[in-house]
Amino acid sequence: MADQPYRWVVVAAGGLMGCVAMGALFALPVLLNPMEAATQWSRTGISAAMTFAFLAMAVSSMLWGALSDRYGARPVVMAGAALYAASLWLAGHAPSLLAFQLSFGGLAGAAVAAFFAPLMATVTGWFTTQRSLAVSLVSAGMGLAPVTMSPLVAKLSQSYDWRAVLTILSLIVLCTTLPLATLLRRPPQTALEARLEDAPSEGMTVAQAVRTPQFLVLVLTNFFCCATHSGPIFHTVSYAQLCGLGAIAAVSIYSVEGIAGMFGRIGFGVAGDRFGAKRVLVTGLLLQAFGALGYFFARDLVAFYAVAMIFGFIYAGIMPLYSVLVRENFPMRMLGTIMGGTGMAGGLGMATGPVLGGWIFDQTGGYGALYITCCVLGLAAFLIATTFRPLGQNQPTRALEAIT
């Protein structure tokens, strides 16, 4: 049976790797001021590396997922971990802004994608029960990054320059993710599952799968979903400072979002197992739209904290449910590819936030229109998600889950 104790080892390894990987990527906002002061590079140019990283993640997600389908998650994640560590080292030794953007925004962004689709595909394959909870726990590990890795980066930056910090992070990535990747194993396949893989209902190709309405709906939903929360994630600290909050208080809003997000991932995971992933996702998308709008009305620290708790709980909670819907509707042999495709859409959505918020601020002198726009994007995600219908060909898989 796939549901055996080792599945929780895979979950723990995935969560820890996700925490380290995302924490290293989001070191850039913490290092932004020291880098600007030390290099005289423009703030826009340094920040652009993060946008490039999200674009690189989007482009490479489907490739990493396809490789994991063919070779298994272990070698793919190990290769990605080695490339990620090397990219961070190169970024720390970049002689120019362009070299930094290529190494951090290009290489590191592409490499970090190796941790997501392969991990989620492997984890969902190990579970026929408690699947939503399992992927939510892995996602919760990633959500620990603002609470663990970001303070570590801030502490290191007090004693070392930004180049040394990135070099240290490259060693941390190498020494943690590579050993953890060795714990990943292909999900075991029961005899009944093996027969179902040979059934006509499981005979679709990848080319057929990416043309199904189910895949297209998930891709569009994830794009608009991530576009909804990327703007608030990247610009709320600046908005809070415009409202008169100090820098430390403004940064703490981000931490509140992160902590609330950990609980949201677990809460939505439990709800997804009980009420169904689609129903919970659709509800969460509607709530996310109005949660983003909540920042429009925030003016003091208490209000910002209240909105951050609600918004962080919701947007972090709904993200793992995409992986569950993929697992429920597509054959196991192509999960990495399909999850990589939805991840690509999410990466493109995340890349819109920094640019959209900056453009709106330049045009209006404030961020109010950003939160209204994000609410509209969130409503679009909600409406698209309501059109999702389970893939009829995959009914045998759900029958399998019911009897196991």
205-404 has which fold? Growth Hormone; Chain: A; (1.20.1250)
Closest to 324 (Cα-Cα) out of 64, 58, 136: 136
Q: What is the pLDDT of residue 161?
A: 93
| SS3 state of residue 94 | coil
Q: What is the pLDDT of residue 83?
A: 96
* Residues 6 or more apart in contact with residue 55 via CB below 8 angstroms: 105, 109, 347, 348, 351
Q: What is the pLDDT of residue 398?
A: 43
What's CA 84's distance to the chain center, in Å?
Answer: 16
CATH superfamily, domain 1-187, is: MFS general substrate transporter like domains (1.20.1250.20)
User: Can you say whether the dihedral through the CA atoms of 298, 299, 302, 305 is positive or negative?
Assistant: positive
| Domain edges within the chain | 1-187, 205-404
| Total Cβ atoms within 10 A of residue 338 | 31
Give yes or no for a contact between 142 and 15, defined as CB atoms under 8 angstroms apart.
yes
Give yes or no for a contact between 357 and 372, defined as CB atoms under 8 angstroms apart.
no
Q: Assign residue 40 a region (left: φ > 0; alpha: ψ between -120 and 50; beta: otherwise).
A: left
Q: What is the pLDDT of residue 202?
A: 58
| Rg value, the chain, Cα | 20
Q: What is the pLDDT of residue 137?
A: 83
Q: What is the pLDDT of residue 223?
A: 96
Rounded to 5 degrees, φ, ψ at 197 are: -65, -25
Please give the Cα distance from 260 to 268 (Å, whole number): 12
Q: What is the pLDDT of residue 279?
A: 94
C-alpha pair distances (Å), 338 with each of 69, 107, 151, 194: 10, 22, 34, 20
What's CA 92's distance to the chain center, in Å?
Answer: 24
Whether 1-187 and 205-404 share one fold: the answer is yes
Per-residue tokens: 330: 């597509």
Ranges of residues in the chain with a pLDDT under 70 are: 1-3, 189-202, 392-404
Q: What is the pLDDT of residue 284?
A: 96
The pLDDT tens digits for 72-112 are: 889 999 999 999 999 999 999 999 999 999 999 999 999 99
DSSP 295-363: GGG--SHHHHHHHHHHHHHHHHHHTTHHHHHHHHHS-GGGHHHHHHHHHHHHHHHHHHHHHHHHHHHHH
Please give the Cα distance from 404 to 402 (Å, whole number): 6
Q: What is the pLDDT of residue 392?
A: 64
